[in-house]
């Protein structure tokens, strides 16, 4: 009896409880690592259709369960986005004739809240939906096909960035975002769970696609200051209109990640009796 009481005292002092009736855990048993595989696509000036040009994407993630309803999360995501005016149905976009593609490298951190209490391997808490809110840093690098080769657009300043033709410098290739996601979790075994998620990344930039300014820069002045390639990729309109509309300042670009994968708990349930 004395040894049992001693075990209970040690457990109470060295571990946290999920809830009044749940198992007690240590830092390892609260931690999960996993992956998801799925897709990514973008919505912006060069594409307005959901799931169009979806590319393969993947995510590595770590989750620390604060309790059965709340978790802290870190994740690294790779994806690719692209858009082509030539494939849009609107005549304006077809005539504008711009295109881009970009790899995305995203690091995100935030809080996950479950709809029901959840614990991997717990027969009472087998599954739940959840909401995720994060802050992220994403490296973008929009490129366009020009004369048979992919050309990086940011260094070119295609809207006159970095010259007296624009009121701002070149945009950064590291951008801040706010990922918001919904998902579901299902316990498969004592230490493994299925994870499904769909998330939107709201960005603090309109240059995922290198298109943000409303009008084209003067091609002669742009070529003189940023080079002929900059001028050629700034205005690719089929009618050659120098005074047409280039981008839409009223909206910002965003992209999505969705996937399915597995989470693995890094430790067991701990040594504390479950009936205390």
In a domain, 245, yes or no: no
In a domain, 78, yes or no: yes
Q: Which residue has the higher pLDDT, 28 or 44?
A: 44
Range of the domain at 92: 30-151+170-210+252-265
- CATH code where residue 75 lies: 2.40.160.20
In whole angstroms, what is the distance from residue 160 CA to residue 166 CA?
5
Number of domains in the chain: 1
Write out pLDDT tens, residues 44-55: 999 999 999 999
Q: Which residues face 105 on adjacent strands?
A: 78, 139
In a domain, 199, yes or no: yes
In whole angstroms, what is the distance from residue 112 CA to residue 67 CA?
11
DSSP 8-class letter at 87: G
The tokens for 87 are 């494939």
The percentage of the chain sitting over the pLDDT mark of 70, rounded to a whole number, equals 87
pLDDT of residue 251: 79
Asked if pLDDT for residue 24 goes beyond 90, the answer is: no
In whole angstroms, what is the distance from residue 87 CA to residue 191 CA?
46
Identify the residue whose tokens are 């080079």.
227
Mean pLDDT for the stretch of residues 1-7: 46
In a domain, 60, yes or no: yes
In a domain, 271, yes or no: no
Contact 192, 204 (CB under 8 A): no
Write out pLDDT tens, residues 120-138: 998 899 999 999 999 999 9
Most confident of 17-21, 225-229, 270-274: 225-229
In a domain, 181, yes or no: yes
Identify the residue whose tokens are 């790899």.
103
In a domain, 231, yes or no: no
In a domain, 104, yes or no: yes
């Amino acid at each position: 009896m004395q040894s049992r009481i001693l075990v209970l005292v040690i457990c109470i002092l060295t571990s946290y409880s999920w809830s009044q009736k749940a198992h007690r855990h240590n830092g390892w048993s609260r931690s999960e690592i996993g992956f998801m595989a799925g897709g990514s696509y973008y919505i912006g000036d060069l594409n307005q259709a959901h799931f169009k040009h979806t590319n393969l994407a993947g995510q590595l993630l770590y989750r620390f369960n604060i309790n059965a309803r709340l978790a802290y999360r870190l994740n690294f995501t790779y994806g690719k986005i692209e858009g082509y005016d030539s494939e849009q149905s609107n005549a304006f976009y077809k005539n504008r004739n711009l295109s881009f593609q970009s790899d995305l490298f995203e690091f995100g951190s935030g809080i996950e809240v479950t709809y029901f209490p959840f614990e991997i391997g717990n027969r009472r808490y087998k599954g739940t939906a959840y909401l995720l809110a994060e802050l992220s840093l994403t490296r973008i690098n929009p490129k366009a096909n020009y004369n048979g080769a992919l050309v990086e657009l940011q260094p070119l300043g295609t809207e006159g960035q970095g010259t007296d033709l624009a009121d701002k410098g070149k945009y950064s290739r590291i951008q801040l975002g706010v990922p918001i996601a919904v998902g579901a979790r299902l316990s498969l075994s004592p230490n493994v769970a299925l994870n499904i998620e769909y998330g939107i990344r709201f960005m603090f930039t309109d240059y995922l696609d290198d298109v943000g300014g409303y009008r084209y820069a003067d091609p002669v002045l742009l070529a003189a200051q940023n080079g002929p390639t900059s001028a050629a990729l700034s205005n690719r309109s089929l009618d050659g209109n120098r005074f047409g509309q280039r981008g839409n300042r009223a909206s910002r670009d965003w992209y999505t990640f969705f996937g399915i994968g597995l989470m693995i708990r890094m430790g067991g349930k701990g040594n504390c009796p479950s009936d205390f």
